[in-house]
Structure 1
């Protein structure tokens, strides 16, 4: 079965409650572009493509039809999908990690969360929603490049990443995947979760952890859990808004801030050590579910790293307060 058919079946009935990438409308825009181009070819005119169309009927270069409708429409849809996914995933994870009176209020205020099975099912649906819409975005951009014999689709994807509306960049995706595995390891719900989340896994290749999830055999998401700075398993992991994951202490060092001041105090010009994008530290997300998963998966390493991190953090805190005292007394 083609992906478009699978996507249509999955999204049937969800359009009213969730924003989606509307493949049919986007394909119609591309067909309209082709019709207008060939109409102008028959009339012997240059057409709407600025004279860039070759004698081989290849539509290349700038296209007013697509630039005025296709890309703005897709950008709007991507923003809506990512915004919806982030909001729902954040609320779900807050519910799972909350405790005491706060958790009671959250459960009481949401009928869909009043039983554990509903909580698990919503998490699975959110991951499926994220990945299937990501595939849809990739497919329609690939079709655009095929129609226009260009690489503007790839350029648009890069633009979407810079705007932080590429759904696979979302820190909540890795958090939900970690949630699945944590629930699978729970004795109370082991059987039910195994049936739901058999496609999510944490593997160690040469002691390098990778969080994986697959869907429809057409796309596989692999998230490396090795810190690019210290080259070790991420400890107290944090995700920048560009989607890259680091140890919290390593991330603070890269941003030239102390752990006392935190990442929100980083300069707006501070860049991600990997992609070199700016303004990625403010709004960084602590990956608590991922932290729990890794601590359970490699307990001996975690204990050693915990002791090392404790010493380093005490040192930084001590230096911070010493500098504050010196500034206060005017030394």
Structure 2
């Protein structure tokens, strides 16, 4: 089955109600833009007849609609993914009265199981759309004989909308690892796809996803964990995972980070006070 057909089947399958308010890559529409553009067809014909290979870099008729529409869709998908994961995990790490109310609700219905299933559906949502973006950009470069599609992927990373590099995907992985001791069969089924190794340098989290996709994330990035920037993601699940799995490492890291921050603060105020 071609990916376009598989993606359409996914969008209209069991996830239909779940995806009702979430955007997705208009894969077939974007593919149609490339297939029906006369300039693209002419360029493709010239590529087929030119043994030296096509050197055309872009198609203005395609680019104006293609890249702007794809960026819009990618941004909407990333926004939906992050907001849904944030809400899901907020319930998991709730404290105080909110945690009491949630625990009381669990006495009457299986919220834990619902969270497990929703988390996995969110992972599939991110994965399928990420594959759709990768394939449509690869098709663009194949038609135009360019690297503009590959460069656009770098732009997605720069704009923080590349789905498989989202900190919220790491948070979901940490969520399943934190819940690995649960007796719930659903947790055991899904958590087997996630692992972390703190004995290597740097420590990594590994995600084994459908379609034989393996992702590895470096767990030493301080920006994601200490809230230095206003838009930094406070990764509570990962924070919990690190504190549980590697207490000595976490203590050493916090000590080193505090010492570094203190040294930088002293240097800053010294420059401010003495003007150098």
TM-score by length of 2: 0.78
- Kept in 2: contact 1:19–1:81 (CA 8 A): yes
Please give the residue correspondences for 1:134-213 in structure 2 after superposition, counting only pairs within 5 Å. Answer: 134-186=130-182, 188-189=183-184, 191-204=185-198, 206-213=200-207
Aligned partner of 1:20 among 12, 17, 24: 24
Give me the whole-angstrom Cα distance separating, in 2, the residues matched to 1:65 and 1:106.
53
Instruction: Say which of 69, 77, 82 aligns to 1:81.
Output: 77
Correspondence 1:97 to 2:103:
no
Larger relative contact order (C-alpha < 8 A, sep ≥ 6)?
2
- Residue 34 (structure 2) aligns with: 30
Structure 2 portions without partners, runs of 5+: none
Q: Size of the alignment, in residue pairs?
A: 258
Q: TM-score under structure 1 normalisation?
A: 0.67
1:6 aligns with 2:10: no
Verify the 8 A CA contact 1:89 1:176 in the aligned structure 2: yes
Q: CA distance change for structure 1 residues 100 and 150 in 2, over 3 Å: closer, same or farther?
A: same
Verify the 8 A CA contact 2:34 2:40 in the aligned structure 1: no
Helix, strand or coil: the match of 1:214? strand
Deviation (angstroms), 1:3: 3.8
**CA deviation map 1:121-165 (0-9, x unaligned):** 111111221122112111111111011100110121122222222
What secondary structure is seen at the aligned counterpart in 2 of 1:98?
Answer: coil
SS in 1 for 2:135: helix
CA distance in structure 2 between the aligned counterparts of 1:124 and 1:192, rounded to whole angstroms = 10
The residue aligned with 2:239 is 291
For 1:165-215, what per-residue CA distance to the aligned partner results, in whole angstroms no more than 9, with x for missing partners? 2223322111111001111134x43x3311123211113463532111122
Runs of 4 or more consecutive aligned structure 1 residues displaced over 6 Å after TM superposition: 39-42, 105-109
Q: Are the counterparts in 1 of residues 57 and 147 from structure 2 also a CA contact under 8 Å?
A: no
> What is the rounded CA distance, in whole Å, between the counterparts of 1:223 and 1:41 in structure 2?
38
Please list, as runs of the form range in 1=range in 2, the aligned pairs for 1:260-275 lying within 5 A after superposition.
263=228
